[in-house]
């Protein structure tokens, strides 16, 4: 036990050899969440509307202000501007008379199909308000029902889906860099000649990486909770899921370091693996929500299963097949551990080559 | 000081030097070892044995196969042919046991530069020491021994090259191995640092450790080694004590520079018994002759009769001369 404690202590001391890497790896998911939740996944669009010269223009602005999400968040925030002040590339809505009919003309700079789709959906909702006002008794009413017990801002999902990535990226990057560094400093030779079992040596590195990984995920959990006001219900389940991801990521990180034996490729590949897992593994929406090929690809990543298992902790409802997802994560972890010991033996302790 | 006269936990076996030197017990046996890397034969039928308590040298130019030989002894490399025994064990099949009784100081100092000497020593202790009790005191004793105790908490990156090598030596001694393999002990170390390191090695040898030192530094080999094997292209070309190797040449080395160069030295110095004529540099003539100091007048008068003598040097053979004698080129080439 003393020997294991010494290895573990050394693993933590090695943080001194790559302080910026540790900071990036551990803080990155929280910073990414803050950045993207404020800029990219904010529920409200600010829309430039030309100073209305017609009554219909004022009515459109009022209708836009009434469009909101089921939980009351504003969807459109019309900004009244003088169209002459805007450059050619800016997006603006102007109400003009065309062939004697008041027409809302929307002009775009660079056409971003996703943004156009989003604006179109929301403007359609605004148009519905106007239409219903005209239809009076024959007004069309749309009721939104979520299949979840309660609705939550998209940032909650976004933060939740980032958790497995946070657990993955810290261990993958730090593990890769520390292991590659051992080759660069030639300290691998110390391990190669040591009569001590690799289980102790790798065990200490794994424990240290798993702790770094869980620290990164905890930080994200706190940041996301403070931003969204939503806190997970079943923290033990969440912890169990993140633990399996952390084990997998720690193994993958060390394996990448063993394979590349150079810090920069190990860092880049660890980061790429984490990002790919996040994007394809339900980072922006549940894999089951897409179906088809995308879902099949998604289910190859541990993230997709982790997100499905984390889901009830935030939304209080089970989705998918939790037992299958748990089994997949356990199998992935066991495979990762086996691969790690195989690669370590191949690259480090192989006695004679 | 302890009652038995030892200095505490560092209870090295105090071996009488003459007893050690007389001991015929081999701790390392290399018999016709061969190792190839593709078409390159790095070690070619190399044979030698190292006796207990001996300071044995592997001398040769870069690429001669010294580091490969060390790696074969540690079991890090597999031999293609021959036999290697370390304390009666095969490093390939009994790697764990062999590694417990050897300490390796590699050519490039492999320490965690951002950690302190203490941190590096503790890490090594976890990797190599069978019994961790008393390690704290042992680390202190070794760091004091190599004059690093005062700077034990400073990051190793702030150390000089010599200090790093001393730390590497202290680390290799930590688990009290019987054999220390020291690859290029003083590469990149200044002259003063070299002497300090040599003193430490000698001190440890006096305590009963067996050292195998690989070097391409003739002075180092001359000062340090009890016996040495000169290796070239993976083959042993001479094996004996430095004194015997030099004495075996039996002749003095004469080096002269003339204008114009002496074209036919054998004819010019006929009857004087010169041998092994070489031209190591342009304008330089080098040959071996018995009792050069008695012939110096004759040598000078013959050469000045037809040439302008710029310089003449008569020297006892060095290990470089031994290498040159056997290979036809200088060790530095």
Please check the confidence at residue B13 and state whether its pLDDT lies above 50: no
pLDDT of residue A102: 84
Distance in Å, alpha carbon of A198 to nearest chain B alpha carbon: 10
Per the listing, tokens 């060095």 go with B318
The pLDDT of residue A13 is 93
Pairwise CA distance, residues A124 & A75, whole Å:
12
Output the pLDDT for position B17. Answer: 42
**Distance from C-alpha of A71 to C-alpha of A224, rounded to nearest angstrom:** 18
Query: Whole-angstrom Cα distance, residue A95 to residue A324?
Result: 54
Contact with chain A for residue B270, Cβ under 8 A? no
Cα–Cα–Cα angle for A204, B139, B223, nearest 5°? 120
pLDDT tens, residue by residue, A6-28: 999 999 999 988 899 999 999 99
Burial class of A251 by CB neighbour count within 10 A (0 to 12, 13 to 18, 19+): buried
Report pLDDT for B22: 44
Q: Give the chain B residue whose CA is nearest to the CA of A6.
A: B126
Which stretches within chain B are classed as H helix?
17-22, 66-74, 95-100, 117-128, 135-145, 161-173, 191-206, 218-224, 242-249, 265-268, 292-306, 319-327
Higher pLDDT, A110 or B35: B35
Looking at per-residue confidence, does B308 or B14 come out higher? B308
Burial label for B90, CB within 10 Å (0-12, 13-18, 19+), is middle
Tokens 């050292």 sit on residue: B211
Query: What is the separation, in whole angstroms, between the first and last Cα of chain A?
Result: 32
Which residue of A190, A192, A352 is in closest CB contact with B78?
Answer: A352
Question: What does the pLDDT read at residue A344?
Answer: 94
Q: Are A239 and A193 in contact (CB under 8 A)?
A: no
B140-199 tens-digit pLDDT: 989 998 889 999 999 999 999 889 989 998 998 898 899 999 998 887 777 887 888 888
Q: CB of B323 within 8 A of CB of B230?
A: yes
Contacts of B120 in chain A (CB under 8 A): none
Is residue B280 predicted with pLDDT exceeding 80?
no
| Rounded distance between C-alpha atoms, residue A66 and residue B198, angstroms | 87
Pairing of strands B55-59, B210-215: parallel
Nearest-neighbour CA in chain A from B110: distance (Å) = 5
First-to-last CA distance in chain B?
50
Q: Which of A131-145, B169-183, B247-261 has the lowest mean pLDDT?
A: A131-145
In chain A, the domains with their CATH numbers are: 2-38+153-349 (no CATH), 45-138 (3.40.190)
- What pLDDT, on a 0 to 100 scale, did the predictor assign at position A266? 96
**CA-CA distance, A236 to A182, in Å (whole number)?**
35
Q: Which residues of A touch B99 (CB under 8 A)?
A: 193-195
Q: Which residue of B has its CA nearest to A347?
A: B76
Judged by DSSP in three states, B255 sits in strand
Contact B127 A194 (CB under 8 A): yes
d(CA B48, CA B59): 13
Using CB atoms, pick whichever of B110, B119, B127 lies closest to residue A196: B127
Q: Does A202 touch chain B (CB under 8 A)?
A: no
Mean pLDDT score of chain B, rounded to an integer? 85
Taking only residues 116 to 135 of chain B, the set having a beta carbon closer than 8 angstroms to any beta carbon of chain A reads 119, 122-128, 132
Radius of gyration over alpha carbons of chain A, in Å? 26
Its pTM stands at 0.79
Q: What percent of chain A has pLDDT over 90?
A: 52
B89-135 confidence digits (pLDDT tens): 998 888 888 988 999 999 888 899 999 999 999 999 999 998 898 89
Asked if the model's pLDDT at residue B5 lies above 50, the reply is no
Q: How many whole angstroms separate alpha carbon A102 and alpha carbon A61? A: 14
Q: Nearest 5°: phi and psi at B48?
A: -170, 165
**Minimal C-alpha gap between A338 and chain B (Å):** 22
Exposure b/e, B112-138, CB count within 10 A at least 16 = b: bbbbbbbbbbbbbbbbbbeeeeebeeb
Give yes or no for a contact between B98 and B74, defined as CB atoms under 8 angstroms apart.
Answer: yes
- Find the radius of gyration of the CA atoms of chain B: 23
């Amino acid at each position: 036990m003393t020997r294991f404690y010494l290895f573990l202590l050394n693993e933590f001391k090695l943080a001194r050899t790559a302080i910026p890497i540790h900071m990036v790896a551990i803080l990155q998911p929280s910073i990414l969440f803050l950045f993207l939740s404020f800029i990219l996944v904010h529920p409200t669009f600010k829309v430039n509307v030309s100073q209305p010269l017609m009554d219909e223009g004022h009515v459109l602005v009022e209708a836009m202000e009434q469009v909101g999400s089921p939980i009351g968040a504003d969807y459109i925030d019309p900004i009244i501007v003088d169209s002459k002040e805007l450059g050619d590339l800016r997006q603006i809505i102007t109400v003009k008379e065309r062939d004697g009919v008041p027409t809302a003309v929307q002009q775009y700079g660079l056409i971003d199909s996703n943004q156009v789709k989003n604006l179109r959906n929301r403007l359609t909702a605004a148009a519905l308000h106007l239409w219903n006002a005209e239809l009076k008794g024959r007004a069309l009413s749309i009721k939104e029902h979520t299949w979840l017990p309660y609705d939550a801002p998209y940032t909650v999902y976004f933060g939740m889906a980032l958790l497995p990535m946070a657990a993955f990226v810290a261990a993958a990057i730090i593990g890769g860099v520390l292991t590659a560094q051992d080759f660069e400093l030639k300290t691998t030779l110390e391990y190669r000649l040591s009569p001590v079992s690799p289980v102790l040596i790798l065990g200490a590195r794994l424990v240290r990486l798993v702790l770094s990984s869980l620290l990164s995920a905890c930080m994200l959990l706190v940041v996301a909770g403070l931003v969204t006001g939503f806190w997970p219900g079943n923290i033990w389940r969440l912890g169990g899921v993140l633990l399996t991801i952390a084990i997998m990521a720690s193994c993958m990180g060390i394996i990448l370091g063993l394979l590349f034996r150079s810090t920069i490729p190990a860092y880049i590949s660890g980061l790429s693996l984490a990002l790919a897992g996040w994007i394809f593994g339900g980072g922006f929406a549940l894999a089951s929500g897409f179906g088809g090929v995308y879902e099949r690809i998604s289910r190859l990543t541990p993230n997709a299963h982790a997100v499905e298992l984390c889901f009830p902790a935030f939304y209080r409802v089970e989705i998918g097949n939790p037992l299958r997802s748990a089994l997949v994560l356990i199998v992935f972890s066991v495979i990762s551990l086996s691969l790690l010991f195989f690669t370590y033996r191949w690259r480090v302790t192989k006695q004679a080559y | 000081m302890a009652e038995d006269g030892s200095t505490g936990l560092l209870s090295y076996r105090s071996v009488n030097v003459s007893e050690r030197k007389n001991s015929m017990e081999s701790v390392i046996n290399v018999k016709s070892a061969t190792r190839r890397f593709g078409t390159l034969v790095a070690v070619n039928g190399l044979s030698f044995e190292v006796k207990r308590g001996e300071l044995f040298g592997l001398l040769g130019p870069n690429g001669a196969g010294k580091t490969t030989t060390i790696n074969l002894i540690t079991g890090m490399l597999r031999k293609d042919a021959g036999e290697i025994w370390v304390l009666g064990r095969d490093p390939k099949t009994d790697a764990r046991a062999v590694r417990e009784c050897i300490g390796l100081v590699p050519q490039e100092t492999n320490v965690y530069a951002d950690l302190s000497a203490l941190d590096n020593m503790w890490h090594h202790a976890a990797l190599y020491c069978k019994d961790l009790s008393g390690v704290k005191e042992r680390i202190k004793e070794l760091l004091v021994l190599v004059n690093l105790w005062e700077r034990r908490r400073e990051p190793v990156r702030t150390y000089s090259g010599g200090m790093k090598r001393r730390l590497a030596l202290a680390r290799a001694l930590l688990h009290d191995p019987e054999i220390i393999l020291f690859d290029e002990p003083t590469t990149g170390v200044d002259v003063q640092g070299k002497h300090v390191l040599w003193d430490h090695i000698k001190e440890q040898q006096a305590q009963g450790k067996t050292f195998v030192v690989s070097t391409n530094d003739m002075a180092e080999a001359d000062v340090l080694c009890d016996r040495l094997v000169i290796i070239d292209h993976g083959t042993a070309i001479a094996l004996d004590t430095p004194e015997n190797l030099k004495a075996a040449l039996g002749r003095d080395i004469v080096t002269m520079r003339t204008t114009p160069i002496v074209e036919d030295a054998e004819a010019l110095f006929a009857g004087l018994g010169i041998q092994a004529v070489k031209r190591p540099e342009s304008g330089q003539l080098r040959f071996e002759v018995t009792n050069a100091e008695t012939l110096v007048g004759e040598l000078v008068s013959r050469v000045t009769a037809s040439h302008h003598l710029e310089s003449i040097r008569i020297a006892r053979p060095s290990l470089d001369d031994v290498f040159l004698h056997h290979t036809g080129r200088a060790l530095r080439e």
